[in-house]
Amino acid sequence: MRERRRITRKKTDIHKSSFQYRLTKFWSDLSTRMSYFRSETIGLEKIPQDSIVIFAPNHCNTLIDALNILRMRKGPTVYGARADLFNKPALAKILRYLKIVPLVRVRDGLSNVTKNYETMSEVYTVLGDGIPFCMFPEGTHRPMHSLLSLKKGIFRMAIEVDQLYDRDVYVVPVGLEYGDYFRFGSTCLIQIGDAINVSSYMREHPDEGDAETYRNLLGILKERMSELITYIPDDDNYQAIWDYTRIKTAGRRPSSLQERLKNNRTVISSVLKDLDNADAASLLEAKLNAAKEFNNMRKAEGISYRSFGFKHPLLRFVGKTLLALILLPILLPFAIFSALPMIVSGFLCNKLIKDKAFCNSVRDVVIFLLAPIEAIITLIVGLCCSVAWYDILLLMLSFFVAPAIAYWCLEWSRRWLSDLRLMFKPALRKKFETVRTM
């Protein structure tokens, strides 16, 4: 039989909206969107209406994951974050303003876990008032195309909320698929999956024990989450399978990010099927070893996967070079306007940040904080110097958009240099074609 404990609700205003919050969310959503050259959100219609909703995304890219969940829909979303972030009062106030509550993990000590009761009482009130709560069931981030072991806390919360309200409680899986975990200006696919009706499950399995209930629900959630991302089992073959997938899909121009995800999953599905086939295992091992060898050669030469797979690489390189020369005079001012945020974020990422997965989050936050400050200073200086209002407005807007454009150009330049290097590496090009046709 299931254990029951007394569940309470706590009066709270954390989920209440205000003009300041809406303005902050607007700029946060915009700056986060500008972090990606291309972004798509799929499946918003799958979010249950007039029900209690708990979002369950994969966690592969630190703070930027939460910011992408925030921007995927209108209205506020409340989040849970590591409790140790709230140890400093000033930071705790900022986090609460951003609608983030502290969650103590088991690793923080069993004596501290009881502090979650007060937080959960607040979250239950938020959910009852129709505001979604976002909880990362993996518990921590990891920049890999896989999933960590899911924690049962998300379903413990859902089951307890189910006892409080007459509305059904849903856990909604969300897949966050990035073109690159570390480089600014990549791509982001946000895909909402089929919701899990926890209330319905509980009604249909009244005699199930806690352990079995958590195990079954977590199994369903993992299956649905893994369908929304490029999922590779986390074992000794992980890196080789990912290398082989990138080789097989290099140079393709899918019409959408969802199609690119489908291409990845098709290759991976074929590889996993061969792993289970004794007759195909030896050939597959040769393919994966060749992919691993190619990846080591590619990295040693500093060449991106994005430079491979094109029929006419020389023509493509010449075209990109001519385009760069034409656009250079237009884009140069954006480099000037973006100098400060790029210098600050570069210093933080190179000198202070040990986990490089945080770098995209740092870049986004630096732009979010510095762009308005630079715009306000421009406004004050412009008014004091009697500059025309339209010139002031143009300069102010430049500070908001320039960093994203500058980062995109920097990434484009990196790829151009990669293309140039590949022009002089015929052995590497031959190795790529050999592996690709295996």
pLDDT of the residue at 248: 95
pTM over 0.85: yes
pLDDT of the residue at 283: 86
Query: Do 206 and 120 form a contact (C-beta atoms < 8 A)?
Result: no
Instruction: Tell me if residue 52 falls in helix, strand or coil.
Output: strand
To 10 degrees, the CA torsion angle through 394, 399, 400, 401?
A: 80
**Inside any domain, residue 417:** yes
Residue 50 Ramachandran class (φ > 0 left, ψ -120 to 50 alpha, else beta): left
Q: Are residues 331 and 267 in the same domain?
A: no
pLDDT in tens, 305-357: 999 998 888 898 999 999 989 988 888 888 888 999 999 999 999 988 888 88
Lookup result for tokens 């100098």: 339
The domain boundary residue, chosen from 170, 197, 226: 226
CA distance 285 to 125: 53
Strands 186-192 and 78-82: unpaired
CA distance 226 to 272: 14
Q: Are residues 46 and 191 in the same domain?
A: yes
pLDDT of the residue at 111: 56
Q: Are residues 130 and 214 in the same domain?
A: yes
Residues with Cβ within 8 Å of residue 234, at least 6 apart in sequence: 144, 146, 147, 148
The domain boundary residue, chosen from 226, 246, 268: 226
> Residue 300 pLDDT > 90, yes or no?
yes
> Residue 49 pLDDT > 50, yes or no?
yes
**Inside any domain, residue 409:** yes
> Residue 208 pLDDT > 60, yes or no?
yes
Query: Do 159 and 202 form a contact (C-beta atoms < 8 A)?
Result: yes
Q: Are residues 329 and 366 in the same domain?
A: yes
Strands 196-197 and 169-178: antiparallel
Neighbours of 332 (CB within 10 A): 11
Query: Do 35 and 360 form a contact (C-beta atoms < 8 A)?
Result: yes
- Domain range enclosing 83: 19-226
CA distance 398 to 66: 27
Strands 52-57 and 78-82: unpaired
Residue 15 main-chain phi, psi, to 5 deg: -90, 0
Q: Are residues 183 and 318 in the same domain?
A: no
Residue 93 main-chain phi, psi, to 5 deg: -65, -40
Q: Are residues 266 and 379 in the same domain?
A: no
**Inside any domain, residue 5:** no
Q: Are residues 257 and 345 in the same domain?
A: no
Q: Are residues 163 and 244 in the same domain?
A: no
How confident is residue 6, by pLDDT bands cut at 50, 70 and 90? low
Residue 81 main-chain phi, psi, to 5 deg: -140, 165
Rounded mean pLDDT of 28-43? Answer: 94
**Inside any domain, residue 272:** yes
Instruction: Name the DSSP letter for residue 416.
Output: H
Rounded mean pLDDT of 165-188? Answer: 94
CATH number, domain of 33, equals 3.40.1130.10
Q: Total structural domains in the chain?
A: 3
The DSSP bridge partners found for residue 174 are: 57, 192
Kindly state the tokens that stand for 150.
Answer: 């899911």
pLDDT in tens, 171-181: 999 999 999 99
CA distance 328 to 319: 14
Q: Are residues 127 and 65 in the same domain?
A: yes
The alpha carbon of residue 434 and the mean position of all alpha carbons in its chain are separated, in whole angstroms, by 33
CA distance 165 to 25: 29
pLDDT in tens, 217-262: 999 999 999 999 999 999 999 999 999 999 999 988 888 999 999 9
Q: Are residues 205 and 260 in the same domain?
A: no
CA distance 391 to 193: 46
The alpha carbon of residue 150 and the mean position of all alpha carbons in its chain are separated, in whole angstroms, by 17
Amino acid at 330: I
Instruction: Tell me if residue 205 falls in helix, strand or coil.
Output: coil
Q: Are residues 256 and 203 in the same domain?
A: no
Residues with Cβ within 8 Å of residue 107, at least 6 apart in sequence: none
Mean of per-residue pLDDT scores for the chain: 90
How confident is residue 370, by pLDDT bands cut at 50, 70 and 90? very high
The domain boundary residue, chosen from 246, 277, 301: 301
Q: Are residues 374 and 421 in the same domain?
A: yes
Residue 294 burial by Cβ neighbours in a 10 Å radius (0-12, 13-18, 19+):
buried
Kindly state the tokens that stand for 93.
Answer: 């106030």
**Inside any domain, residue 416:** yes
pLDDT in tens, 83-130: 777 777 877 887 888 888 888 765 655 556 666 777 888 889 899 999
pLDDT of the residue at 312: 87
DSSP 54-71: EEEE---STHHHHHHHHH
> Residue 368 pLDDT > 60, yes or no?
yes
DSSP 82-104: EGGGGSSHHHHHHHHHTTEEEE-
**Inside any domain, residue 266:** yes
To 10 degrees, the CA torsion angle through 127, 132, 137, 143?
A: -160
Candidates 169, 101, 155, 120; CA nearest to 9 is: 120
> Residue 1 pLDDT > 50, yes or no?
no
**Inside any domain, residue 1:** no
pLDDT of the residue at 8: 62
**Inside any domain, residue 403:** yes
